[in-house]
Amino acid sequence: MHITVWNEFRHEKKNPKVIKVYPDGIHKVIADGLHEHGLTDVGTATLDEPEHGLTDEVLAKTDVLIWWGHMAHDEVKDEIVAKVHQRVLEGMGLIVLHSGHFSKIFKRLMGTTCNLKWREAGEKERFWVMNPAHPIADGLNDHFELEHEEMYGEPFGIPEPDSLVFVSWFAGGDVFRSGCCYYRGQGKVFYFRPGHETFPTYYNKDVRHVLANAVNWAAPTHGPKIPVVNAKVPLEPLPPYED
Amino acid sequence: MHITVWNEFRHEKKNPKVIKVYPDGIHKVIADGLHEHGLTDVGTATLDEPEHGLTDEVLAKTDVLIWWGHMAHDEVKDEIVAKVHQRVLEGMGLIVLHSGHFSKIFKRLMGTTCNLKWREAGEKERFWVMNPAHPIADGLNDHFELEHEEMYGEPFGIPEPDSLVFVSWFAGGDVFRSGCCYYRGQGKVFYFRPGHETFPTYYNKDVRHVLANAVNWAAPTHGPKIPVVNAKVPLEPLPPYED
Amino acid sequence: MHITVWNEFRHEKKNPKVIKVYPDGIHKVIADGLHEHGLTDVGTATLDEPEHGLTDEVLAKTDVLIWWGHMAHDEVKDEIVAKVHQRVLEGMGLIVLHSGHFSKIFKRLMGTTCNLKWREAGEKERFWVMNPAHPIADGLNDHFELEHEEMYGEPFGIPEPDSLVFVSWFAGGDVFRSGCCYYRGQGKVFYFRPGHETFPTYYNKDVRHVLANAVNWAAPTHGPKIPVVNAKVPLEPLPPYED
Amino acid sequence: MHITVWNEFRHEKKNPKVIKVYPDGIHKVIADGLHEHGLTDVGTATLDEPEHGLTDEVLAKTDVLIWWGHMAHDEVKDEIVAKVHQRVLEGMGLIVLHSGHFSKIFKRLMGTTCNLKWREAGEKERFWVMNPAHPIADGLNDHFELEHEEMYGEPFGIPEPDSLVFVSWFAGGDVFRSGCCYYRGQGKVFYFRPGHETFPTYYNKDVRHVLANAVNWAAPTHGPKIPVVNAKVPLEPLPPYED
């Protein structure tokens, strides 16, 4: 299984607070976390590379794409978004993180605004498991927590998830559907909330555990294609029909 | 409740077979069907009117929009689609019919290809009720049928419906999820399969019954908006946090 | 529409704290709340009446049944539970409140343990709307709250709801799926969390608003029956088959 | 992974037509099919064994239980059903086949009647894939078929599936949700329609492929337990509360 971690990689070049936490970029730390879980075939790609690092070759070999973006969603070229979209619908897994809720690719896949509330108060976030039978909850306790995170609050402008795995509690009084699974075409999409750039979220062992589970869940299966087909000949004989 | 029936209204101007069935346009016959069910505040709008008949004023007063399109999806202006999209997410009901599965508005709301198989063999279509508790199945028997329809076949490239009300059986050997409900933002969307332009589908009493039920189901409710909000102040006091 | 409010009505006879809040029983206060919303055809029934007040006659005329029970779930006779179960599957709406999660009827309809965490600390509960398009969220803001309630926490041992309308935030660190919709047979079921007997929850205007919305949503529609039928004769001719 | 194939094993002792197709019992042929797919740790259990072959020891070591029953559902002891139920809610996968829709265990897990139509006309059944992204559709084409099967028809008295993988087309004019996934507690349940005792269904390569996929999907994961817990101490400090 080949995983590509895509990162906008801008905050980590300008913001001293972010540089301190992620000196080599968020993508590097996410990839390290996957390595810990035996997922070793991991590449990275970033916004400022040619084609955002998502060449046809890279997309073709990617089984699961992880997406982190925030301040430069608009700079992601529409043609690259279209290719990622097509690959997801053809089976490539997609894991969208945190502020990626406003990425072009996530909004296109959801069909909704993906709006939400937010608050940067470094408050506690506690993730509660809603669906203990789901593979993404494998090996978890009933909850885990992050001492400091940005808050995201409901209502969150998404379709009802095909499975809701986590809901977050925030100390400041909000809740959020923080782990959402979707089937789209032949592909699987998981939105996972945490990961504000100023907090060491992607070093956290539970977050890494969830990411590894999510990659395994989102890995491509090989169901039938969904083509546009003029099925001229019926599979069964039809009675005569006068047009 | 104000309903607007939108129709591309092109087939009915050129194709003698269609003109014979729908001399005043599909929209006229759909509107007649709604009248029969006591839904009397019904307007129509068509592609070739200015702004496709969907001015800001019309959209603002429309509670439920019905959409029939086929050969000219690409001629629907992106800016009008964007307005309809926004109105749906703000609560306006949307009922997408038949070949409208490939309309810009439906594809944008679904986020998927909306691909499918099709066959024009005038074969029998039988609609089976999957969810007898759903308001759209109110007053129906376990199935109803249309003697001659175009076939649509699976796999259909849509998200799993939030409720699946009908599955169609086709004489030629196919099945199709022919009545699909979705919540999107503050709005409700219903995809209803039948209605090929060469068949008198919208004169059928069961089809009319379903359309009336669907309009009533999709009528706006007034839940909370889903804005982007910087919720600067937490609702509950937070412990001190050193950034 | 005829509504029956069923209450165990035991706490209100022995516990001075409860008597103070609900001197005439929880059912009386729930019924009062429905009256406020124009739902005036409301009867009540309680555990210690003959057949728990749920005679065949009462069940036959009830469109929506509201259920509050806690300390005496085991005293509800299996034959009455079986009748209520059958009526729900035939279309009667059912609204299960608070500790009713452990009622025989709810567990039978869910097929799961319906286990949960709880804590009586009189803490704040804040209800967040998850599905702003759902009729049960009609007229609500993005949240409402109760100053003091018993806490229920996840994981909650229920099937994933067909629509999740509310998630509660609790001051002590928990979340809970507090408004859950289910289609079951021809009927609709809504689980609504709040209503511990020592708190004046059913006097609260938002809670009453939700209950009225829920009754309207759960009202019977008249979809097809789901019988056991030997459909000896196929609807379409079959090719010869040698057994 | 240890799989147990449970079979009523009565038809195969009395009905010459069934004996001809399944001389050593349906369970034997199902187990053979799993072997072909590399699932080799497979035991069997049948109704007439002590404790129906489902001793505590067998249940404790079973990861996925496959269930075929028909004429003797009522002879399955309630205490065994209760144990199977508990094991499913604790994580054991369950695959219910064909007439097992009326088994005590399936009805208990669904909470509904599980009623349906049926017809023994040896007609063609064609399985269409609805969710090409689901692991149970892995490696399949858009449809597969069985030349002769018993028909099951809608409406089927089940909860809406958490994912609908297959819908069957029947030559005689019916459709059926023939592959239905459910999460229940920590466990996963898959209902798979085909397998009438007089047809060689479980020798079919596509059916065997689906069964192997289903076993892998239903295999236990280790999410959190869903206990009844008095969580006396809040995770977060609460303001003082005067009872």
| Phi and psi at residue B117, to the nearest 5° | -95, 155
What is the CATH number that goes with domain C3-218? 3.40.50.880
Residues of D in contact with C224 (CB under 8 A): 155
Record: fold of B3-113+178-218: Rossmann fold (3.40.50)
Q: For the segment A3-14, what is each residue's pLDDT rounded down to a tens digit?
A: 999 999 999 999
Band (pLDDT 50/70/90 cuts) for residue C243 is confident
Q: Which pLDDT score, from 0 to 100, does residue C242 have?
A: 80
Tokens for B12, please give them: 């009915």
Task: Report the percent of chain A where pLDDT is more than 90.
Answer: 98
B168 and chain C: CB distance < 8 Å anywhere? no
Average pLDDT, chain A: 97
Name which of C129, C139, C224 is nearest B140 (Cβ-Cβ): C224
CA distances (Å), origin D81, targets A141, C215, D47, D55, D74 = 28, 35, 12, 11, 11
CB contact under 8 A, C230 and D118: yes
Separation CA C199–CA C11 (nearest Å)? 12
Q: Which pLDDT score, from 0 to 100, does residue D219 have?
A: 98
Q: Which pLDDT score, from 0 to 100, does residue D243 have?
A: 75
Query: What is the DSSP code string of B70-112?
Result: -TTGGGS-HHHHHHHHHHHHTT-EEEEEGGGGGSHHHHHHH-S
Chain A contact probe: residue of D221, D236, D238 with most A CBs at under 10 A: D221
CA distances (Å), origin A160, targets A93, A198, B176, B185, C164 = 19, 29, 22, 10, 8
A126 and chain B: CB distance < 8 Å anywhere? no
Band (pLDDT 50/70/90 cuts) for residue C1 is very high
Name which of B129, B132, B185 is nearest C133 (Cβ-Cβ): B185
Record: fold of A3-116+176-218: Rossmann fold (3.40.50)
Q: For the segment D152-200, what is each residue's pLDDT rounded down to a tens digit?
A: 999 999 999 999 999 999 999 999 999 999 999 999 999 999 999 999 9
CATH architecture assigned to D3-114+178-218? 3-Layer(aba) Sandwich (3.40)
Q: Are A65 and A78 in contact (CB under 8 A)?
A: no
Chains in contact with A, where contact requires at least 3 CB pairs less than 8 Å apart: B, C, D
Q: Assign residue B115 a region: left if phi > 0, alpha if psi is -120 to 50, beta otherwise? A: beta
Q: Is the pLDDT of residue A71 over 90?
A: yes
The mean pLDDT value for C116-120 works out to: 97
Name which of A140, A163, A222 is nearest D224 (Cβ-Cβ): A140
C133 and chain B: CB distance < 8 Å anywhere? yes
Q: For the segment A189-227, what is each residue's pLDDT rounded down to a tens digit?
A: 999 999 999 999 999 999 999 999 999 999 999 999 999
Name which of C132, C155, C169 is nearest A175 (Cβ-Cβ): C169
Q: Is the pLDDT of residue B243 over 80?
A: no
End-to-end CA distance of chain C: 52
The mean pLDDT value for A25-44 works out to: 98
Q: For the segment D18-73, what is each residue's pLDDT rounded down to a tens digit?
A: 999 999 999 999 999 999 999 999 999 999 999 999 999 999 999 999 999 999 99
Separation CA D155–CA D177 (nearest Å)? 9
CA pseudo-torsion sign B123, B155, B5, B38: positive
Q: Which pLDDT score, from 0 to 100, does residue A242 have?
A: 80
What is the pTM for the complete model shown?
A: 0.98
Question: What is the number of CB-based contacts under 8 A between chain B and chain D?
Answer: 60
The mean pLDDT value for B92-120 works out to: 98
B172 and chain C: CB distance < 8 Å anywhere? no
Rg from Cα positions in chain C: 19
Band (pLDDT 50/70/90 cuts) for residue D242 is confident
Task: Note the Cα C87 to chain centre separation in Å.
Answer: 14
Q: For the segment A83-135, what is each residue's pLDDT rounded down to a tens digit?
A: 999 999 999 999 999 999 999 999 999 999 999 999 999 999 999 999 999 99
Chains in contact with D, where contact requires at least 3 CB pairs less than 8 Å apart: A, B, C
Band (pLDDT 50/70/90 cuts) for residue C172 is very high
B162 and chain A: CB distance < 8 Å anywhere? yes
Q: Which pLDDT score, from 0 to 100, does residue C42 have?
A: 98
CB contact under 8 A, D142 and B164: no
Q: Where are the domains of chain B?
A: 3-113+178-218
